[in-house]
Chain A
Amino acid sequence: MIFGGLDIGASATKAALIDDSGRLLGSAVLRSGVDFAASAQRGLEMALAQAALDAGRVEGIFACGYGRKNAVMAQETRTEIACHAAGAYYHFPQALTVVDIGGQDNKIIKLNARGMRTSFKMNRKCAAGTGAFLEEMALRLDLPLESLDSLAREAGEEATLGSYCTVFTATEVLGKIRDGVKVQALVKGLFRSVVKRVMEMDLFEGAVVLTGGVAAHNPYLAQMLGEELGRPVLLPPRPQLTGAWGAALLARDIRARQLASE
């Protein structure tokens, strides 16, 4: 049987198709834009095309993310917290602290050894430390988003940025530019800022998994977070798909329970 998961996030829509075993058969990532229903539909179609599957073969679809209620093809919705937890636990079945850095939200989700959530936290109503922060800074520095990871890795030194606020950080960055600080050092400083904001959110216990689009495009963040924590941070395959993959896994699990009770 085939199951689908849709994660209609603030920035990007992700679609995942899996089989009974949880193996990824097809996927898609596209911008969410202003029409969540359309992006959900388009994402599903793209994933189906990639997997060379017909929509009729999909047994169940769950949706998560800000646009989850707009995904009319989904039988049920779950929060992205539930789905990132399910997706992360599928790859690393142990007690976990899952860190999802999204376009607009950061989430810290704690799971016990059985994969049950014991607590979660979302960032306060502030974009500091989220994908939106890096997007804003890339814009200010006139850098393509996809160049940030390699620039941070190249940095010999690191600029110290102390502000909590995105706007104030931009001011700080402008000051550093004026002082001749290299762009690589600035980008690494921005990454450090993301890591600090995340680490302020909660205590980190057990194995730590980093998920979400920011980690997918900037895997160096996982290395930096690991250095701060003193232990390596795990990255699942396709970190940006973790929520959608988890949604599909939850759809599969519900169907299995239904079949067992029939």
Chain B
Amino acid sequence: MPEKTPPIQATKLMKQLMADHFLGLDRAAAQGSPKVAWCTSVGPAELLVAMGFEVYFPENHGAMLGASRLATETIPVANALGYSPDICSYLTADVGAFIKGITPLTRAYGIKGVPKPDVLVFNTNQCRDVQDWFEWYGRHFGVPAIGVRTHRGVGEVKDYMVADVAQQIKDLIPTLEQVSGNKFDIDRLREVVDLSKQCTVLWRKVLEYGARVPAQMNFFDHTIHMAPAVVLRGKPEAITYYDTLLAELVEREKLGYSAVPGERMRLYWDGMPVWGRLRMLGDLMNELRAAIVCSTYCNSWIFDAFDAADPFESMARAYLELFIVRDEAYKEAYMLEHIQRYGCEGIIFHDAKTCPNNSNSRYGLPQRFAEIHGVPSLVINGDLNDLRCFSDEQAKTNLEAFVEQIEEMAA
């Protein structure tokens, strides 16, 4: 067993692809062509790519602000503007950064600012905050902020819901044609949906390497390697990347590598990452030899429903099947299935102060897991970006004590 697992080599390719992505956006915004569309993380990106837009994902930028800890200085700027510290800290970090004139893209890629949008397209499947977020920029730049209003608390995904969302996606087309100057082409959309489907199949395979014992990748790896699945959906580069990564994972498994050297415990993570503390938490879990092998968050970029033969309905279904819009019964069953399949001995719930939609510990779910399914859980209070809501010491003590407890129970 290696003492320290060598880094994943494919990361270099990912960094290059991400650089190309952001430099392409910067160029497009500077030249005015192709047009730039901002899109929420599970917004209709396939349609935007098919219509010739360069697509930028502000939630990805929000995560970069968190990971770089620039969010700590930008969130208060948005708070002062009247955006509450209790709302999405991606929104407040991002709007604050824009007002302050800073971005992590400068340090990473030498880019001065985020690419100016020509249109903003949201899907409220994440939350209502994304709509308010995009509308702020819409007002600022004087460009359209349009989107899809999702169904919520979805149990079974019904045909009428699919029809509704599909129609809402179709209704975006006239505005997108006007902004882009391109006519909508159904065959191009089929191609893009097919590429997104290929990407999602590969991303699922990557995540399933977490089910190996020992796990070949863990939650902290996933939060890094998910980037192409998030921002390059519908593009061949994402497929190239995951083909490369998967080939490497095959070899790493043969060599006996594991995500957490000496893995002795397997855990499930529910909720948002604490972007500004990923390294600290990753190091701590390594020290404890506890691997977080599966997460709701990173699984959220698996879209099984995509079907090139039926692009609008399949996009609608994919966006509606998303964990975040489902009802409690679905969420419980989904998590239980993954916990069993990945061999998890406990759940870490991250209760993110500013992200209620991604905090699933607030309505008795941890207690139901303990009582009905015998799965212990821990709730960590924190936030995705606002480190004012996170205590390193409390988190460390909680995680250590949880690992102690599971060990004690196993003994």
A→B interface (CB under 8 Å):
66, 78-82, 105, 116-122, 124-125
Contact = CB atoms under 8 A, between A and B. Distances in A.
Interface size class of B (residues with CB under 8 A): 10 to 19
Contacts of A120: 401-402, 405
Given A119-B370, A119-B376, A125-B381, A81 B394 contact: no
Interface stretch (B41-49, B248-256, B335-343, B385-393): B385-393
B390 A81 contact: no
A115 to B, nearest CB: 9
A79 B381 CA distance: 18
A18 B394 CA distance: 29
Interface of B: 370, 376, 379, 381, 389-391, 393-394, 397-398, 400-402, 404-405, 408-409
A118 B394 CA distance: 19
B381 A78 contact: no
Contacts of B389: 125
B9 to A, nearest CB: 34
A82 B398 CA distance: 11
A185 B391 CA distance: 34
A122 B397 contact: yes
A119 B405 contact: yes
A79 B397 contact: yes
A70 to B, nearest CB: 12
Contact of A81 (B379, B391, B393, B397): B397
Given A125-B389, A125-B390, A116 B408 contact: yes
Nearest to A124: B381
B405 A122 contact: no
B409 A116 contact: yes
A66 B408 contact: no
A96 to B, nearest CB: 15
Contact of B398 (A66, A118, A122): A122
B296 to A, nearest CB: 21
Given A105-B394, A125-B390, A81 B404 contact: yes
A19 B142 CA distance: 76
19 contacts: A78-B404, A79-B400, A79-B404, A81-B397, A81-B404, A82-B401, A105-B394, A105-B397, A116-B408, A116-B409, A117-B408, A117-B409, A118-B376, A121-B379, A122-B394, A122-B397, A124-B381, A125-B390, A125-B394
A22 B397 CA distance: 25
Contacts of A80: 397
Contacts of B402: 120
Given A79-B400, A122-B398, A125-B381, A117 B393 contact: no
A135 B386 CA distance: 28
Contacts of A105: 394, 397
Given A119-B376, A125-B381, A79 B409 contact: no
Contacts of A119: 370, 376, 405
Please give me the 5 A-B residue pairs with the lowest Cβ-Cβ distance, nearest first.
A81-B401, A79-B401, A117-B405, A124-B381, A79-B400
Nearest to B409: A116
Contacts of B390: 125
A82 B404 contact: yes
A125 B401 contact: no
A120 B409 CA distance: 13
A81 B389 CA distance: 22
Nearest to B366: A119
A21 to B, nearest CB: 23
A123 B401 CA distance: 14
A121 B391 CA distance: 15
A8 to B, nearest CB: 12
Contacts of B408: 116-117
B199 to A, nearest CB: 38
Nearest to B397: A79
A125 B393 CA distance: 10
B316 to A, nearest CB: 38
Nearest to B406: A117
Contacts of A79: 397, 400-401, 404
A79 B402 CA distance: 10
Contacts of B404: 78-79, 81-82, 117
